[in-house]
Chain A
Amino acid sequence: MNREFLPGFLSHQENLSPLPQSTDVLIIGGGLLGTSLAYYLSKQKVELLLLERDEINREASGTNAGSFHFQIALHQLTANMTTKEKNRLSSEVQLQVEAAKLWDNLEKELNADLGVHFDGGFMVAENQDELKVLREKDEIENAAGLESFILTGQEMRNFAPFLAEDLAGIAFCPREGHANPLLVGPTYAFRAVENGAQIRTFCSVESIEVLGDGSKVNGGFRFKVKTSRGEVLCNRLVNAAGAWTMELARQVGLNLPMGLSGLHVNVTEPHEYFLKSMVQHIGRRLTLKQTHNNTFIIGGGWPAKSEIYPRRYSNLWSSTAGNLAVALRVLPMLKNVKLMRTWSGVWAFTRDFKPILGESKKVPGFHVAMVPTGFTLGPMVAQMLANYMTNESDDKLIPSEFSVDREIK
């Protein structure tokens, strides 16, 4: 069986070993942002410690559906396509194209099978209104350097005979793809440790004390972090706590307004492989792909019921029934395929939908790495932050619109 498997495993024993007394960089959070940042920093020989309160990659980083969002998708749209909105979408596409370049090369960089596939992606429209949005999206993408094209009628049916015959039209973006979210974070973590990074799991942060007078103290440490497994001192601290970023930032008096939403994902039994490209819907919540384990993963942003940590968000019957109906509408052959399991994850986002990335001017030394489209953009923004942290905190390396200190409504 052609199976994607991790290139190696962290040692549970080492993960549970005592904390060092101090470190240069302390990363809080063992999701995709934290582990990829640990990798890029460790490549530059930065001394670092990553703390995770559970196992690596167990929250949003490992529970999302693994879709790349290179083409514009429903989650980026608003009801009115104004010029301002179009400009926003255009700048987002440019960022997404950059992310695609990173993913292109990532399996080579990490020397591992991450289930990365660039086999294109469909975006379907059921009616003429949706087709209009599809055309606008297509125009923005091509102008921003992302190839995509639109097909309707017989052309559409010839190109994608498995899709419902009566769709109004489809867009196809050859660059679209997906990866296996269960492998990416742990692989980054494994390679980071190979480079000398230290990781401790089952270690939760209880408080953060800012030392000194607010300027960087030579020789002294900037932060004292109290954890469930003792104290650790550090010069620089990175908040990569995903859905808990806001909570952690309050420890140093920063307010980072964020929204949280539970997302629902479905997976089916294996079926003979035929669907190379991902399928999304421009007007309904749907992402649909066939993995190389031959299962179909069906998601797209249907809700899961929120719960208090560490309880996992509950899956709702209505989300499965609704999500699968949209999938069935688009891909009728799914009718007799069995739903095998559902799961949920927590999704964190900012109201302006932009990453929060960089160092706070209000609390020097305190960095934040948080991004709403975390799977697609996570590794790329982590790389940006690593560049910033290893190049004398050069402000030019991170777009100002991502600023930690900006007013986020």
Chain B
Amino acid sequence: MLVIDSQEVLVIGGGPAGLAAAIESEKHGLATAIIDERENLGGQIFKRLGDGFEVLSDSTLGADYLRGTELISIVSKSEVEVFTGTQVLTIEDSMVYTSHPELGTRAFKFKTLIIAPGAYDRPVVFPGWTLPGVMTAGAVQTLVKTQQLSPGRKILFAGSGPLALAFSAQLIKLGAPIYKVLESSHAPKLSEIARLAAAVSGNWNLAADAVRYRSILLKKSIPFKYRRIVTKAEGQGRVESVTHSKVDDQWRPIPGTEVTENVDSLCVGYGFFPSHELFRLLQCTFTYDENQGGFKVQKDEWGQTSIPAVFAVGDGTGVTGSYAAVAQGTLAGLKAAQLAGKITENKLKTLARPHQKNLQDRNRFQRALNHMFEVMPGIYELADESSIVCRCESVTKSQISKVISSTNDISAVKAYSRAGMGLCQGRNCQRQIASMINQKYNIPFEKIAFATPRFPAKPVEIGLIADGSIQDEKYFINE
């Protein structure tokens, strides 16, 4: 039988944005619950250590860990109800259906829903990208953060954007043997540095972080190369060598600049995609911004989406980093309180002001950074004809090309080729397929819709979702 739990505010996602939203909404007297699919709150940025680890001193685990500890402890001391290990299956009307490995299905009825789903690594297809030993930055970060484990002894880091630097520096600090860092963008131009510097006011911590990250690399004499991209990973059964090339302004490899190096691991981090599955299931309105990960849910200054009861906060709504995420979460929590009549509109304005100011500063800095690390089309042209594009169903680029000669619709490509039908539910291949459609038909990305959204939001065991108390109508023909 279905257990139904009622909440005034339900927050999905226990990362920086979700924690802040739950804290703020509960603070104003709203019955609030937070659910997260992982065993611990914190999300990716504030990720906790795995079971079996004992933390003797939080400070050894870095600034993000400390920020996470602070928010999580506020939540645990508050009236916020916490449901971890709880996977969202679908959302219908005012009900969120979830599944838990021991407890099975539980439904949450809500008045306001704040979704802070987070982001995942931008999948980049190149020959050899499915070889064991090729990992995304997020996966390596998870290994290192939760298990204190390095994936290899000699790791090449290839990526782009502020996080390429931050991630590699953090990984080095946590003891992962990064051998070299490749950044596909050019070295910052003076004009870009000036723009960034102009945005630094109010973002001193971010700027200081950047300097600190760079100095970590310098101190360890780890080479950091601009304008290079990984074009191939090779090896018997796992990565043994990686080839990279110099790129032009469009991130297209320049022939004759290839260098092959022997490494045992390749960490790939070309920025992030917002996890927008739930917003798509809800049929929220979307906008498009390539540098923030492509499709992102449309929202107002409070995070309110085209569905008034649904708010969207954090990196899952356009990647802007954990500081902005906390501000967004707080603002959504405040707005929920005002909508519920807990605070007046004037009070809302007063309370929101410092967070809005904070968010504006962050966004300005982020825009300057995005400008500097713009994602260029060459990144989607690295696959060769035999490269696997859909890794779940082993569908190659040449097979997909054939299908694309017949249709420009991703749903139809999926139906004809099986690309996107596997366990990752299309997260890894759809953007690559969109890019192939874009190249063949010259259709802008914002016009290439992903396949029809369907639940479950993530795969779930049949035993955890089946409900024997639900009866069918039996006969189809009623006389």
Contact = CB atoms under 8 A, between A and B. Distances in A.
Interface in B68-110: 89-90, 92, 97, 105, 107
A78 B405 contact: no
A341 B421 contact: yes
Interface residues of B, number: 53
A391 interface: no
Interface stretch (A34-42, A164-172, A328-336): A328-336
A329 B456 contact: no
A234 to B, nearest CB: 25
B460 A339 contact: yes
B454 A343 contact: yes
A79 B403 CA distance: 46
A57 B468 contact: no
Interface string B410-422: 0110011110011
Interface in B296-332: none
Nearest to A267: B421
Contact of B406 (A10, A182, A339): A10
Given A9-B406, A329-B468, A337-B462, A321 B105 contact: yes
A283 B456 CA distance: 27
A9 B462 contact: no
Given A12-B406, A285-B472, A325 B479 contact: no
B394 interface: yes
A301 B476 CA distance: 8
Contact of B423 (A12, A269, A302, A318): A269
Given A12-B406, A293-B418, A340-B425, A324 B454 contact: no
A332 to B, nearest CB: 9
Interface residues of A, number: 61
Nearest to B459: A338
A126 interface: no
A181 B286 CA distance: 32
A268 to B, nearest CB: 7
A267 to B, nearest CB: 8
A337 B423 CA distance: 12
Contacts of A15: 406
Contact of A321 (B459, B465, B479): B465
Given A11-B406, A285-B474, A315-B90, A340 B459 contact: yes
Interface stretch (A21-29, A69-77, A154-162, A209-217): A69-77
Given A55-B407, A55-B412, A340-B423, A322 B467 contact: yes
A394 B146 CA distance: 75
A75 B476 contact: yes
B3 interface: no
Top 10 nearest A-B pairs (CB, nearest first) are A322-B470, A9-B406, A321-B467, A335-B463, A325-B466, A338-B459, A324-B466, A75-B476, A285-B472, A325-B468
12 contacts: A9-B402, A10-B406, A11-B406, A58-B412, A76-B476, A182-B415, A317-B90, A327-B462, A328-B462, A328-B463, A337-B461, A342-B456
Given A11-B406, A315-B455, A317-B89, 19 more contacts: A9-B406, A12-B405, A74-B475, A75-B476, A78-B475, A301-B472, A315-B454, A317-B97, A320-B456, A324-B462, A325-B468, A325-B470, A327-B466, A336-B461, A336-B463, A338-B462, A339-B465, A340-B459, A353-B477
